[in-house]
Amino acid sequence: GTERPTIGEGVEVVVVSNRQPYRHSWGDNGIEVDRPTGGLTAGLDTVVRRIEGSWIAWGDGDADAEAVDEHDRVSVPPDAEDGYPLRRVWLTEDQVDGYYYGFSNRVLWPICHGALTRVHSESEYWEAYEAVNERFADAVGERVGRGDVVWLQDYHFGLLPQMLRSRVPEDVLVTHFWHIPWPGWDTFRACPHGSEVLRGLLGNDLFVVHTERYRQNFLDCVEAAIPDAVVDRAAGRVFHEDGVTTVEAYPLGVDTERILELATDGDADERWRRIRSRYGIGEGVRVGVGVDRLDYTKGIPQRIDAVERLLERHPECRGTFTLVQIGSESRSRIPAYRELQTAVVEGVNRVNARFRTDDWRPIVYTTDRLSDRELYTLYRNADVGVVSPIRDGMNLVAQEYVAAQADGNGVLVLSRQAGAHDLIGEDAVSITPQDTDEFAGALHAALTMPEERRRERMGALVETCRSFDTEVWIEDVLGSVARLREEGHGG
Ligand code: F6P
């Protein structure tokens, strides 16, 4: 650990996200707490404890909402000293349909990932998105006091920054981290209510994206869509009728230390043997690993096609290579997500039916959730990490694979379309996921690369991932916040 980043005496940082870091339900011993999955909330949880902040989120999945709301101080274990207040915002079914499944995930998500054919917009989506952003703005307004910092997360809250301006004291600093790509203007101009979203985001004092490319894209969109805004490219600042918005690029990393520890601690070798035996992976079979939310942006069907092509072109890989693909169900009320789930199962079945033998399968596909310890053990021992999104803001799986490898000699096969590629692409084997021949060739190159070369590349990858891990990201964001406060921004 490093020292606790400070923003100022008595200043509270209020984090706002769609997903909550903990879920509550009634159990035998009163209220029980469990952690929903997801890298974003787990990473931020550590931050909020360290900076003694508080958190506001949608109370999704909480049983008996009213009663549980009383229990608004979170700590796991229950009496830990570093717990923090968690305020839940309860939404109606219609609000969830319009705000989460509608405008967030059928408009903004596909727009920002350049998937224009998936965009579907209804006026109810927008109305619910506005209404829910208002609900959150009220909740934040009730929580913050003079000089506090509001730290918003992601595309669910495009209107919230501007809405906050009339609800919080002038010296409250509002910052926002956008976890998904920011597309170029030629794509964003297709976004229904796009200018309203941009104006909403200009309510921020500090708007942060993962990469320099997204930062330039955002500034391009502001220039094109907001006539009264003046963009200072060199300073990365936007001057507009309500003030100044600074735009920064700080890539989100992973907790490299924790991942390595969990990948290697205790009886790690025995864990790996159990994982292999559970998936029926025989001795001498080399392993590729893919782990994704079941989303059409992740390039999973393309990955399956590449494995099939590999086995066609390189018969020596039959019986000696298996891809372990772990998928977690996501956003299933949206047709495109259900279609993707079906396509993955059909693809896996097709390739397995074509090549499988009595004691070997080309692809092991499961939707079971692994514990972090098991997952990182799998990463540590897999010969190839396969990360092939069609488009991805960052992709933390690529970084987790590297972090778990540490002194290892695995090879990362990485899509050029992942934000992570801007940072660590040089030492990965790069692919364009739709180019099946290239993808299959990359898998083959990874499997035949000499050990010395693999070690060299993994060593470089590990070093780079450490240079922007979670700690660095937090220091970058909070460092910028502190500087802006000194300059008198906020309000
Ligand atoms: O990183 C993008 C993101 O939408 C996060 O905000 C979220 O935690 C994650 O993907 C999972 O998606 P969802 O919250 O919709 O299940």
What does the pLDDT look like over 9-56, one tens digit per residue?
Answer: 788 999 999 998 887 777 777 767 777 655 677 778 878 888 889 999
pLDDT band at residue 69 using 50, 70 and 90 as cut-offs: low
Tokens 């700690």 sit on residue:
471
Phi/psi for 308 (5° steps) reads: -60, -45
Q: Are 159 and 204 in contact (CB under 8 A)?
A: no
Check residue 269 and give its pLDDT.
Answer: 97
**Under DSSP, is residue 192 helix (H, G, I), strand (E, B) or coil?**
coil
pLDDT the model gives residue 228:
95
pLDDT of 439 reads 99
List b or e across 458-487, with b for residues whose CB sees 16 or more CB atoms inside 10 angstroms.
bbebbebbbebbbbbbbebbbebbbebbee
Residue 384 predicted with pLDDT over 90: yes
Q: Which pLDDT band holds residue 371 (cuts at 50, 70, 90)?
A: very high
**Average pLDDT value over all residues in the chain:** 93
Structure tokens at 429: 């084997």
- Determine the distance separating the centroid of ligand 1 and the alpha carbon of 294, expressed in angstroms: 11
Which CA distances in Å does 15 have to 33, 323, 418? 19, 38, 26
Q: Which atom of ligand 1 is nearest to the CA of 330?
A: 16
Residues whose CB is less than 8 angstroms from the CB of residue 345 and which lie 6 or more positions away in sequence, other chains included: 365
- Is residue 165 within 8 A of residue 45, CB to CB? The reply is no
Q: pTM of the predicted model, to two decimals?
A: 0.95
Mean pLDDT in residue range 97-121: 98
Show Cβ contacts of residue 243 under 8 Å, excluding neighbours closer than 6 positions: 205, 489, 491
Helix (H) or strand (E) segment spanning residue 65: helix 65-69
Cα of 115 to ligand 1 centre, how many Å?
Answer: 17
**Across residues 155-181, what is the average pLDDT?**
97
Site to probe by mutation for ligand 1, drawn from 16, 17, 19 as the one with most ligand atoms within 8 Å of Cβ, is 19
Model pLDDT, residue 1: 37
The best mutation among 109, 154, 297 to test binding of ligand 1, ranked by most ligand atoms within 8 Å of the C-beta, falls on 154
Ligand 1 centre and the CA of 330: distance in Å?
A: 9
pLDDT at 71: 55
| % of the chain exceeding 90 in pLDDT | 82
- Expressed in percent and rounded to 5, the helix, strand and coil fractions of the chain are 45, 20, 35
Q: What percent of the chain has pLDDT over 70?
A: 93
Contact present, 24 and 66 (Cβ < 8 Å)? no
- Please report which confidence band the pLDDT of residue 415 belongs to, taking 50, 70 and 90 as the band edges: very high
Residue 338 Cα, ligand 1 centroid: separation in angstroms?
17
Locate the ligand 1 atom nearest the alpha carbon of residue 179 and give its number: 1
Among protein residues, the one with the nearest Cα to ligand 1's atom 11 is: 38
**CA 428 – ligand 1 centroid, Å:** 25
User: In the predicted model, what is the mean pLDDT of residues 199-222?
Assistant: 98
Atom of ligand 1 nearest to the CA of 153: 6
**Strand ranges for 262-310 from DSSP E:** 286-293
Q: Which amino acid residue places its CA nearest to atom 14 of ligand 1?
A: 19
Tell me the CA–centroid distance for residue 239 and ligand 1, in Å.
Answer: 30
| Ligand 1: lining residues by beta carbon, under 6 Å | 18-19, 38, 40, 154, 179-180, 293, 330-331
pLDDT at 339 over 50: yes
Q: Is the pLDDT of residue 118 over 70?
A: yes
Ligand 1 center to 18 CA (angstroms): 8
Ligand 1 mean position, distance from CA 482 (Å): 27
CA distance 465 to 468: 6
| Ligand 1 atom closest to 38 (CA) | 8
473's tokens: 């990201």
Task: Tell the residue nearest (CA) to atom 6 of ligand 1.
Answer: 154
pLDDT given for residue 41 in this prediction: 78
Lowest mean pLDDT among 15-29, 104-118, 141-155, 186-200: 15-29
Report the pLDDT value the prediction gives residue 30, as an integer from 0 to 100: 72
Write the residue with the smallest CA distance to atom 16 of ligand 1.
330
State how far the Cα of 97 lies from the Cα of 79, in Å rounded to an integer.
36
Candidate from 20, 155, 179 with most ligand 1 atoms within 8 A of CB, to mutate = 179
Q: Where are the alpha helices (DSSP H) in 320-395?
A: 335-355, 372-381
Whether residue 487 has pLDDT greater than 80: yes
Kindly tell me the burial class for residue 300, based on how many C-beta atoms sit within 10 Å of its own C-beta (0-12, 13-18, 19 or more).
buried
Say if residue 77 is preceded by a cis peptide, omega within 30 of 0: yes
State the pLDDT confidence band at 165, using cuts at 50, 70 and 90.
Answer: very high
459-468, pLDDT tens digit by residue?
A: 999 999 999 9
Taking Cα atoms as reference points, which of 408, 325, 420 lies closest to residue 370? Answer: 325
In ligand 1, which atom is closest to the CA atom of 19?
14
Q: How confident is the model at residue 2 (pLDDT cuts 50, 70, 90)?
A: very low
